[in-house]
Structure 1
Amino acid sequence: MWDSKAVIMKKTTSTIRLIAALTSFAVLGGSCTKNLLDQPSTTEVGENVFWKTDADALAGIMGAYADVRPLFDRDYYFDGQGEYVRTRGTSTVKDDLQHGGAYVVTTGSTGYSPSGFGQQFDAMYKYLYGGVNRANYVIDNVNRMLATGTNVSVPKLERILAEARLLRGMVYFRLISMWGDVPYLDHSITSNDEVAALARMPIAQIKDSIMADFTYAFNKLPAKSDQMGRAAKPAALAFRGKLQLYWACWNKNGWPELSTFKPSTAAATAAYQAAAEDFKHVINDYGLDLFRGGSPGECDTLGKAEKLPNYYFLFTPVANGDGEMVMAFAHGGTGTFQGEELMRDFAGRSHEGSQCWITPRYEIADKYQSTVTGDFAPKLIPTNPSTVTGARTKLNSAVNPASYANRDYRMKASIMWDYEVSIGMASLKSTGWVPYIYKTWAQPIVIDGTTFLSYNTDGTNSGYVFRKFLRNYAGQGRSDGDYSFPVMRLADVFLMYAEATNEAYGPQADAIALVNRVRRRGNLPPLAGGKTADKVSFFNAIEQERIVELLGEGQRPFDVRRWRTLEKNWNPPGGPGVWRLDTWGAQAQRYFQNATDRDIAQCYIFKIPQSERDRNPNLTQNTPWM
């Protein structure tokens, strides 16, 4: 985590008429704080005093990391737009940058449902531009310092400039992934008048600017960071590869909802090849490895959790600073006011009063393959134990704990089903083992002669809750975590490399080996020959691994959009829609019923906020929202 010295930065206008908000640049230990911005500051340090020393520049980039971090460290909410995760409640409507403000939506959690989300992200739009302006503020000032820098200070300043350009590139990558063409700002803005009539820049030009940022960052960053949370060369290279992969997908699959974009098969091929090359260097040149060597570790028997697989620990502070974390945003933990919110969002009331805003959907369970066959197990059968005799012992019943035996270790590490346990917590102390039993909240339960109080969470309507991101130990509050949330993991790089090489050249031996390394952490055997026999089969295998490996990390909906598989995953327009069930067989939620072509199109590109268009007559609208 960053040095906890208090640093007072010059307050500047970090949002503009384009985004209609202001951000304070007061930083305490790297944390963004909100001020009454309509009042004169009594604590500012003016530019004539600040931005003079290497220490000033370092404090500036620390503040930029702190401002950009909330734009990415709750990306797991995006998974609610996919098929396998449900988000709920009001945690996404709080207008506070550190506690979900980047994810403000206008109508409850609609923005994180599989349909109807494309018009719900006005606040994210403005906060992302706040991140751009904060990065530009550092870039502008460090560039001025470089003009008079010494031989000693120049390398330090260039590193800070590289970090700021990486952050700016990441934010613009997110902007174009959601909205396509957007206005581009290459310097910090101090007056709304500067952007009151700024038009949207074509996505191809913005892509080139992001590429330039990532390339500069790659050239100037160290091969390995000396401080947790600060980026190094592999991060810049991985993000450059990811940008090229997305560019390839948009060119291959088209983006008809973005009227200014013209796909090109040649551009797609070149981008797949370039992406593969960048990913290959990340994989081979920096001595990186999967967490604990990719070993599956131990997996306790059904209903016990004293020995959990290594994949579980990858999402606890044990993994902070590990080589798998190509880039991660650090958090301070208890007492720092910089803690992550993972427990609060993923756990239930039995875990420090957490709120269980995010839960697995029933359908994810069938995606976990058999450790015996390496392929899919028989589908689970939803069974109501209150009406079906012997429901908990029937073969393949979803409420029979034995149905979950011999599955991918990532299943045990990621989700809990009936009679799975975790450590309960209250007042920073353990309350002992808490068994999860769907629809049995905080009730005394006798298991093998011992009485337990069941997991108190009514936040799920599927029959499952997450284990992933839950701390299986006491001592920290629900919002006081110190886990460094990954925005780029090596396993993701492995899978993106496999995807890029497969598209460019067909199944390659080294790519197949990398996918098998990811599978090994689930204690799965290597892919069978038929899974890698051709481009389509191998792509399906890669997609399968992305679903289970990256569950709850915010990747799925972006994958679906760049692959244009929304209709395949749900239903063609005009169909009956798709019900999401629970383990008892009840119909929980229905999506895309009688959806129109326009409804589907609106899921592929987001709506430019009308409030911004009202202020700026030169802001055009994306086609499905006209």
Structure 2
Amino acid sequence: MKRTIISIFTIGVLGLFFNSCTKGLLDQEPTTELGAAAFWQTEEDATTALMGAYSEVRPIFDRDYHFSGHGEFVKVYNTGAAPIRISVNNPSNYGGGANALYQACYGAINHTNYVIENIEKIMLPQAENEEKVSQLEALIGEAKLLRGMLYFRLIALWGDVPYFGKIINDNSEVESLSRLPIAQVKDSILADFTYAYETLPEKASQVGRAAQPAALAFRGKVQLYWASWNNFGWPELTTFTPSATEANEAYAAAAKDFKKVIEDYGLQLFRGGEPGEWGEMGEAEVLPNYYYMFIPSTGNANEDGEMIMVFTHGGTGTGQSDEYMRVFTGRSVEGSQNQVNPRYEIADRYQSTITGEFMEPLIPMNPSEPNARTAPNSALNPESYRNRDYRMKSSILWDYEKIMGLASLKETGFVPFIYKTWSQEITIDGEKYTTFNDGSTNRSGYDFRKFVRNYPGQNRSSGDYNWPVMRLADVYLMYAEATNEINGPQTDAIELVNKVRHRGNLPPLKADKTADKDSFFKAIEQERIVELLAEGHRAFDIRRWRAIERVFSPPYGDGRWFVDTHGAKRERYFFNASERTYERCYIYRIPESERERNPNLTQNEPWK
């Protein structure tokens, strides 16, 4: 798929038919009827246009780490690397900062509609050629899957939204649209995913293109969210009435789809779900398998099928490269900018590989204290991190952990991370090093290893990583959640959660963790936290579970402080916050700019 997208932009075909209208809701189709008619002749033309749709949809999802900044385990700054901004990146004030995302979703929807309608026109003369019709239907299936993903993102954030399933050529048509009830939009999304499931191949022809498992997984995910909203309620969406009956039906439908994904396609966790090797404390020549799933050199091939659906990036010289290294690490790695940090609080979520339980909480200590580097459970003592979930070593850096330094496309040797030292000369075990320079933005005492390439040849903005929008491990955990809500802990669901745990070299869940529905839910939530760290899921989870107050603080409470490994209080959220503050985190504001253009658009209650 990467080569196909690159060729599209090289020859400029889509520039003839799609432009960007920044003044309105849509990226409109220009009125170049003659040119469009000349283009839409063959299946190759249809594929070319579909690749353009993938390219337009990609930046709406491939910066989903921004949403992690609305949870409690990841700090996200307003990153310049994001082409579509979510302009607020803190846990207590973000529902009004996504106007660009709203507009981008609708522009991309119009693009998918354009692809669908024109492929349907190509298909008409081919009605008697079953093979050709099947091929064209599969292309429509991909476009409908993309459209379903876009509408799913819209309803998950804004609730009721305008819906259109055809090309809209000018803003006068947009200005007549009202918000459609979420249930109707949900049904249209499910219809798109069902069409995709029925027409797509079992396995995609190229990495980055959708196939049946993706359609089923997304259909299941929509139904899981619908079940959650009906189960836990969504009072901020005043047009929505929860139903326990609908919740149970949706949980069952979600579980059915997830089960097919798990059982029918031969998909396996990356490297068989084996943990690999931890390596040596403080060294990085060898890292656990989980790490290698998130770098291009080893994770992109996706031969096991863990990455059910990804958005690809073109790499050096394509104009379509990823920016993940720039975002997830610091100056010592190709001058990166360290715009995303793990918070201090994530470290305690990594459990013991010996007991499978949480370990004694880490203790923040000032490095000037004489025993800070040796005290038991000190956050500055490297030994405090021994015998923990292998995903910790794969995901974050703590004091005296090393990462490969890179500059000018070359290796510069391993660099030890020591919080607040910034390129300081240091001797470790008789060998001289220069410490990691995180650019002084770090506020936790940890840095990311996840998503950071450990090999030379690409600069900070020239990656070719495939960003996961659906992973098999996520499907395992969603299946466990859905079945647990219906019938409590089930044997197959427990086995799947234990498979996810095994990649961290953790023992199976103990009996008390699967004794009842609530206990198993907590175990599932724990696995989602560490397994999906910084992939954008946490904020959606705590919103659909109505858990913001549980995670942070009740209204008018003390809020929640976030500290660093040195014991400094860095940030506080939800201090003395009103109910309205929480309500605005549960549902986003319809952009006022769109409401000014379209008086039919009502506003969500918390934003009136």
2:90 to 89, 104, 113: 113
Counterparts of 2:550 and 2:21, CA distance in 1:
39
Counterpart contact for 2:79–2:327, Cα < 8 Å: no
- For the 8 Å contact 1:196–1:615, the answer to whether it is kept is yes
Match of 1:267 in 2: 246
Q: Which residue of 1 aligns with 2:3?
A: 2
Moved over 2 A (4+): 2-7, 9-18, 150-153
5+ long unaligned stretches in structure 2: none
The reply on whether 1:136 has 2:88 as its aligned counterpart is no
Distance 1:167 1:303 in 2: 43
Of all paired residues, the percent bearing the same amino acid is 58
Q: Say yes or no: does 1:559 pair with 2:541.
A: yes
- Tell me by how many angstroms 1:45 deviates: 7.6
**TM-score, normalising length: structure 2:** 0.96
State the alpha-carbon separation in 2 of the partners of residues 86 and 618 from structure 1.
37
The alpha carbon displacement at 1:18 in A equals 5.6
The one-letter code sitting in structure 1 at the alignment partner of 2:76 is T
Match of residue 398 from structure 2: 417
CA distance in 2, matches of 1:305, 1:559: 32
Q: Distance in 2 between matches of 1:490 and 1:541?
A: 18
Q: CA deviation at 1:16?
A: 8.5
Alignment check: 8 A CA contact 1:304 1:420 kept:
yes
CA distance in 2, matches of 1:137, 1:22: 11
Are 1:2 and 1:62, in contact at CA under 8 Å, matched by a contact in 2?
A: no
Secondary structure at the counterpart of residue 278 of structure 1: helix
**Equivalent-residue separation in structure 1 for 2:210 and 2:188 (angstroms):** 19
2:283 pairs with one of 300, 304, 310: 304
Equivalent-residue separation in structure 2 for 1:621 and 1:201 (angstroms)? 13
Aligned mate of 1:524, from 501, 506, 523: 506
Q: Name the residue aligned to 2:484.
A: 502
Distance in 2, matches of 1:90 and 1:330, equals: 20
After TM superposition, give the deviation of residue 17 of structure 1 in Å: 7.0
Task: Give the Cα separation in 1 of the matches to 2:543 and 2:102.
Answer: 18
Q: Distance in 2 between matches of 1:215 and 1:542?
A: 27
Find the aligned partners of 2:19 and 2:229 in 1 and give their Cα distance. Answer: 34
**Kept after mapping to 2: 8 A contact 1:101/1:124:** no
Quote the residue 2:206 is aligned against.
Answer: 227
In the alignment, which residue of structure 1 is the partner of 2:17? 11
Match of 1:187 in 2: 166
Q: Rate the CA distance shift 1:207–1:159 in 2: closer, same or farther, 3 A.
A: same
- Partner residue of 1:81? 70
2:52 to 63, 69, 82: 63
Contact 1:114 1:591 in 2 (8 A): yes
| 1:559-582 deviation digits (Å, cap 9, x = unpaired) | 000000000111110011111000
Q: Contact 1:501–1:508 (CA<8 Å) still a contact in 2?
A: yes
CA change 1:509–1:129 in 2 (3 A) is: same
- Aligned partner (choices 388, 393, 404) of residue 385 of structure 2: 404
**Which residue number corresponds to residue 108 of structure 1?**
none
Give the count of matched residue pairs.
596
- Partner residue of 1:293 out of 267, 272, 277: 272
Q: Which amino acid aligns with 1:167?
A: L
1:456 maps to what in 2?
437
Is 1:490 aligned to residue 495 of structure 2?
A: no
* Structure 1 residue 189 displacement after superposition: 1.3
3-state SS of 2:52 partner: helix
| 1:34 aligned partner | none
Q: Which amino acid aligns with 2:3?
A: W
User: Pairwise mapping of residues 530-541 of structure 1 onto structure 2 (< 5 A)?
Assistant: 530-541=512-523
Give 2:150's aligned residue: 171
- Partner in structure 1 of residue 317 of structure 2: 335
Which of 19, 25, 40 aligns to 1:51? It is 40
Matched with 2:371 is: 390
The 5-angstrom pairing of residues 243-392 of structure 1 reads 243-317=222-296, 318-322=298-302, 323-386=305-368, 388-392=369-373
The offset of 1:242, in angstroms, is 0.2
Are 2:407 and 1:426 aligned? yes
Determine which of 593, 600, 608 is the counterpart of 2:575: 593
Number of the residue aligned with 1:575? 557
Q: Which amino acid aligns with 2:260?
A: H
The CA deviation at 1:226 is 1.4
Residue 58 of structure 2 corresponds to residue 72 of structure 1: no
CA distance in 1 between counterparts of 2:18 and 2:427 reads 60
CA contact 1:17–1:612 (8 Å) conserved in 2: no
Distance 1:16 1:180, change over 3 A: farther
Alpha-carbon deviations, 1:313-348, whole Å to 9, x = none?
010121213100000011111111111111000010
Equivalence for 2:103: 126
1:79 CA displacement: 0.2
The SS at the match of 2:337 is coil
Q: Bigger shift: 260-269 or 111-120?
A: 111-120
What is the rounded CA distance, in whole Å, between the counterparts of 1:17 and 1:389 in structure 2? 60
Deviations 1:65-106 (A, max 9, x none): 001001101101110000000012442xxxxxxx5232242x
Structure-1 residue corresponding to 2:592? 610
1:432 and 1:14 map into 2 onto residues whose CA distance is 44
Unaligned runs of 5+ in 1: 26-36, 92-98, 106-110
Q: What is the CA–CA distance in structure 1 between the aligned matches of 2:277 and 2:242, rounded to whole Å?
A: 47
Q: C-alpha displacement at 1:185, in angstroms? A: 1.2
**In structure 1, what is the Cα distance between the partners aligned to 2:397 and 2:541?**
25
